[in-house]
Amino acid sequence: MTYVLLSLAFLAVAVVVLAIALAVTPDRAVVVRRWWGPVLIGGVIVLVLTAVFDNVMIGAGLMTYGEGQLAGVHLGLVPVEDFAYPIAGILLLPAVWLLTRRRAR
């Protein structure tokens, strides 16, 4: 299995969980209107930090990848597949919050 397929599997799970969370949320319009900005800003911060620190860790030799398993596109030293995990987290965190929050009666 290549890193691309593994990354797509993680992203697919995150998208499905988010879709379910939004589907069962009765105040979906309010939630989306209030949360898209903070989630976008947090996501950009997480992706920038991922780019910086993954480059440092790969440059220091803490992480290596099998070259035959990569798509070949890199941002510095970081393969693009590495960004799938933070993106999945960015999608999953609001989804889990929506699924577990208590609603006012």
- 88 in a structural domain: yes
In this model, does residue 2 exceed pLDDT 90? Answer: no
Query: In this predicted model, what pLDDT tens digit does every residue of 49-89 receive, in sequence order?
Result: 999 999 999 999 998 887 778 878 889 999 998 899 999 99
Query: In this predicted model, what pLDDT tens digit does every residue of 8-61 receive, in sequence order?
Result: 999 999 999 999 999 998 888 998 899 899 999 999 999 999 999 999 999 999
Task: Please count the structural domains in the chain.
Answer: 1
Return d(Cα 36, Cα 13) in angstroms, integer. 20
Cβ proximity of 95 and 17 under 8 Å: yes
- 105 in a structural domain: no
| Domain containing residue 53 | 3-100
Return d(Cα 15, Cα 43) in angstroms, integer. 15
- 13 in a structural domain: yes
**Length of the chain in terms of residues written:** 105
- 20 in a structural domain: yes
pTM: 0.82
- 60 in a structural domain: yes
